[in-house]
Amino acid sequence: MTTSGYTEIQGRVAASASVQAAIAKGKELPLLDVGPYLAGEPGALEQLAADVKWIQENLGFFAIVNHGIPQSLIDESFRQTAKLFEISMEEKNRHRVGYHHQGYLPPKSSILKSTAIMEKIAVNTKKDTNAAWLFMRNRSADDPKVLANVRHRGLNQWPDSLPDFKKTLHAYQLAMEQLSLKLLPIYARALGLPADYFAPMFKAPEYYQRCAYYHPEEKMEEGQYALAPHSDGSFLTLLPMTPVVGLQVMTPSKEWLKVSYVEGALIVNTGQVLNRLSNDRFIATPHRVVNPPMKRYAMTFFFYPDDDASVAPIKECMAPGEKAKYDERSFYDFFVPYLDDLYHYNDANFMKEVEPEPAEAADSKA
């Protein structure tokens, strides 16, 4: 277990005993109260930074409470997400994912696999059983990236029959975005950087919203998952907890930790963007979803920097003489191949490239 850092946090605050114990036992996620920090309580930032540093060097997953996201908004978002998977198949098929990876993804229509974790686990060859609706940052028809047909930056495919879903999910995304921005100083201090270090990278942050439905399967193929083992490509990921179990996280000993429900908590983990920026100091932990005992819904919010932000290793995160383990590239140039590496569809038409639409054609779809 790593206990020494490349850059010591100011004041050398120690990680909480509860955090160290949770990771050592490997039976539950560390639980952090971010309420005092969000309220501006003196010393709260440095303590959270010490805890997150320990977590990110050893497990990569934790849960937070008193995060400020109204439970009423989370509950309504879950209700609307359940309705999303109850609309007609005809309407779902009108919104199937394509070139932009936005829209409806039917069950058993893709294989989730990533070269980033092949050596840690195995190559997945089975179709995932979950269904999902995939949304990116909500854009207008006159957005320059929409007009230019920039991949993964198109218009979201909102279901026409559920107008309340769009309103609710958009509010949910904005709330998650604001919380994510508030968490950035914790990660900066955990890396020994100034609290505002990441602010220039998140002037217009991108995000990817995955609303998923995990149907309990009577019979699963050997080696098949509701969602196969993978690591996220995010800077950080936020996921409201649900009483229906299914999520499992790989521990440092390569055992699977079954995540237990904590009322009102959000699961937080980091992905390959922060893994790159920290030059492998902060891990992007493999995790999976197994066949649930009953219907299970998830509203995963993947938070990313600006498209033009560099995701090369930060010099201050490297020890003297240490070399960068990743190349210099923008977030967007990382994101596109990441999704292509991760999602493998069994319908080639899903990913068929399309020509950019004329501006007036895009405007007509507003």
SS3 of the chain: helix, strand, coil, percent, to 5: 30, 20, 50
Determine the Cα–Cα distance for residues 120 and 219; give it in Å rounded to an integer: 26
Determine the Cα–Cα distance for residues 197 and 304; give it in Å rounded to an integer: 15
Question: How many CA atoms, within 13 angstroms, populate the side-chain half-sphere of residue 247?
Answer: 30
Rounded to the nearest 5 degrees, what angle is found at the Cα of 119, between the Cα atoms of 129 and 190? 90
> Cβ distance 89 to 106 under 8 Å?
no
Determine the Cα–Cα distance for residues 359 and 149; give it in Å rounded to an integer: 10
Which pLDDT value is given to residue 129?
87
351 secondary structure, DSSP code: G
Which pLDDT value is given to residue 252?
87
Hey, CA dihedral for 338, 171, 44, 262, is it positive or negative? Answer: negative
Which pLDDT value is given to residue 349?
47
CA neighbor of 365 nearest in space, from 141, 96, 102: 141
Q: What is the CATH number of domain 17-349?
A: 2.60.120.330
Q: CA gyration radius for the chain?
A: 20
Structure tokens given for 126: 């089975």
> Cβ distance 312 to 328 under 8 Å?
yes
347 secondary structure, DSSP code: -
Structure tokens given for 73: 């908004």
310 secondary structure, DSSP code: B
CA neighbor of 274 nearest in space, from 202, 169, 355, 358: 202
Which pLDDT value is given to residue 10?
44
- List helix spans (H) across the chain: 17-25, 35-38, 44-58, 71-84, 89-94, 144-147, 163-190, 272-277, 331-342, 359-363
Which pLDDT value is given to residue 33?
98
Which pLDDT value is given to residue 227?
85
DSSP string for residues in 129-156: --EEEEEES---TT-HHHHTT-TT-S--
Determine the Cα–Cα distance for residues 176 and 232; give it in Å rounded to an integer: 17
b/e for 124-136, b at 16 or more Cβ within 10 A?
Answer: bebbbbbbbbbbb
Which pLDDT value is given to residue 365?
32
Chain centroid offset of residue 268 CA = 8
Determine the Cα–Cα distance for residues 330 and 98; give it in Å rounded to an integer: 23
Which pLDDT value is given to residue 352?
41
Determine the Cα–Cα distance for residues 324 and 326; give it in Å rounded to an integer: 6
Determine the Cα–Cα distance for residues 229 and 353; give it in Å rounded to an integer: 28
Which pLDDT value is given to residue 1?
38
276 secondary structure, DSSP code: H
Domain boundaries, given as residue ranges, for the chain: 17-349
> Cβ distance 153 to 145 under 8 Å?
yes
What residues in the chain have per-residue pLDDT under 70? 1-11, 110-125, 343-366
Q: pTM for this structure? A: 0.89
Chain centroid offset of residue 169 CA = 16
